[in-house]
Structure 1
Amino acid sequence: MTKEYFMSEIHNLYEQIEFPKQGILSKTIHESPSGEVNLFMLPKGEKISGHTSSRDAAVFILRGEADFMLGENWHRVKPGDWFFMEAGLVHALNAVDDLVFMLTLFGS
């Protein structure tokens, strides 16, 4: 997708969902100087190990449940849940179900 794909248009995020048989699939659905929006799709059982980001971020759960580690604490998240992560916060996840979430990264 080009950087302008979602500029000034309305699109359905659910139409962008496609689950990989294994691994993680991410799609950049918007990118601009003010930030970036990505759609992540993980099959049940997939994990993302602990890591940090140099940018503040927000996560919105669209489908499935997951165990998310934020700092030293684990949280069970479900569709409709969202949370903010400050830059530098260690985070990880375990997909309990097929999982879809939207990640917004702020700044560049």
Structure 2
Amino acid sequence: MEQKFIKNIEFAKTLTMAGLVDYQPGRVVSLTLVQNEAVSITLFAFSKGEAISTHAAPGDALVYLLDGEAEITVGDSKLTARTGEAVVMPANIPHGLEAVDNFKMLLIVIK
């Protein structure tokens, strides 16, 4: 059997990424697709008002919004990102996210 690096989703199928996680009121829902020493790929669904508090990470993080709207803080900057937009958060720079409205994102962290 071949080693698989991606988990929790079906192989050799067309997938709608935003459909892999569902909104749940008052919660942040996540689905890990890859987690190892070099890379992390996770899908998230945030209900309106939910957040990830400001923190720093040891890798560069790319957030791609699949649906909705989020306020993203990177260092001293506050950005608004909407469906189809992406933001890169550099390694070791404090960053955080808050759901302005329900939003879904694909988070890729490279270390």
Query: What TM-score bracket applies, with the shorter chain setting the length?
Result: 0.7 to 0.9
Deviations 1:12-46 (A, max 9, x none): 21220211221211111234564121001110111
| Alignment partners' CA distance in 2, 1:9 and 1:53 | 32
Per the alignment, residue 66 of structure 1 pairs with 70
Per the alignment, residue 93 of structure 2 pairs with 89
Per the alignment, residue 51 of structure 1 pairs with 55
Q: Give the alignment's Cα RMSD to 1 decimal.
A: 2.2
In the TM superposition, what is the alpha-carbon distance from 1:80 to its structure 2 partner? Answer: 1.0
> Quick one: percent identity of the two aligned structures?
25
1:39 correspondence with 2:49: no
Give the structure-1-normalised TM-score.
0.84
Give the stretch that moved more between structures: 22-31 or 79-88: 22-31
Per the alignment, residue 13 of structure 1 pairs with 17
| Cα separation, partners in 2 of 1:33 and 1:48, compared to 1, 3 Å | closer
| Alignment partners' CA distance in 2, 1:4 and 1:66 | 26
Give 1 or 2: higher strand fraction.
2
Per the alignment, residue 34 of structure 2 pairs with 30
Instruction: Tell me the secondary structure at the aligned position of residue 64 of structure 1.
Output: strand
C-alpha contact (below 8 Å) 2:21/2:29 kept by paired residues: no
Structure 2: tracts of 5 or more residues without a match: none
Structure 1: tracts of 5 or more residues without a match: none
Give the structure-2-normalised TM-score.
0.82
